[in-house]
């Protein structure tokens, strides 16, 4: 039987049990500040593969990695240019995902969430991946009741966080000093450009 925890009723239990599941390479369904998401350890190939299988998503597509502090960027080997630094100062923690290069020549989509629950979880378990809790092609759920029952029954633990914002994070390619928007979300591109112009 699926274990569902109400975040408003038992915050600490939600943190502890979610951490336990993630540390044993399980998959949790959790509320972010934007929409409900599926998460697991970012560096567990087996767990990441299972997330793709749960979503019925094509294998090999990359997921966003969530961090709980900017110091973890260095731990992940990520490099920030001037534009990324400016945008992080303005919008992190918050619903901005940035595509960053790493020291090995790869790229990673990363976000520093403003969710207290998410950050407590990452503090305990380390960085985690995040992808919307929907079957591939479906809309992202902002209400726990909107989550597909088939998907819900495939995870190891679910945390009910009530009503969420319902708009996903903005995804921005900042590999160059001139950013390129890949997905429009909570933060508008005009706001991003305005912040960068103020710093010139």
Q: Give the domain range for residue 15.
A: 4-198
Residue 10 has pLDDT above 70, yes or no: yes
Q: Is 15:8 a contact under the CB 8 Å cutoff? A: no
CB 174 within 8 A of CB 89: no
Q: Is the dihedral of CA 55, 58, 64, 65 positive or negative?
A: positive
Which tens digits make up the pLDDT trace of 127-166? 999 999 999 888 999 999 999 999 999 999 999 999 999 9
Q: Name the band, by pLDDT with cuts 50, 70 and 90, for residue 58.
A: confident
- Angle formed by the axes of helices 82-91 and 189-198, nearest 10°: 110
Residue 54 sits in a domain whose CATH number is: 3.90.870.10
Average pLDDT, the chain: 95
Q: Could you give the number of structural domains in the chain? A: 1
98-124: per-residue pLDDT in tens?
A: 999 999 999 999 999 999 999 999 999
pTM listed for this prediction: 0.95
């Amino acid at each position: 039987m699926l274990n569902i925890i109400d975040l408003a009723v038992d915050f600490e239990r939600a943190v502890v049990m979610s951490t336990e599941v993630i540390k044993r390479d399980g998959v949790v369904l959790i509320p972010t500040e934007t929409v409900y998401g599926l998460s697991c350890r970012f560096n567990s190939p087996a767990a990441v593969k299972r997330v793709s299988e749960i979503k019925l998503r094509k294998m090999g597509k990359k997921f966003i990695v969530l961090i709980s502090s900017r110091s973890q960027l260095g731990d992940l080997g990520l490099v920030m240019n001037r534009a990324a630094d400016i945008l992080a100062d303005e919008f992190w923690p918050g619903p901005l995902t940035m595509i960053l290069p790493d020291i090995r020549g790869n790229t990673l989509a990363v976000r520093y969430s403003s969710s207290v629950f998410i950050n407590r979880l990452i503090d305990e378990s380390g960085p985690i991946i995040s992808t919307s809790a929907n079957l591939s092609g479906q809309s992202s759920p902002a209400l726990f009741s909107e989550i597909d029952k088939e998907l819900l029954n495939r995870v190891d633990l679910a945390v009910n966080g009530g009503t969420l914002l319902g708009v996903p994070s903005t995804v921005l390619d900042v590999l160059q000093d001139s950013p390129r928007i890949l997905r429009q979300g909570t933060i508008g591109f005009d706001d991003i450009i305005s912040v960068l112009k103020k710093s010139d």
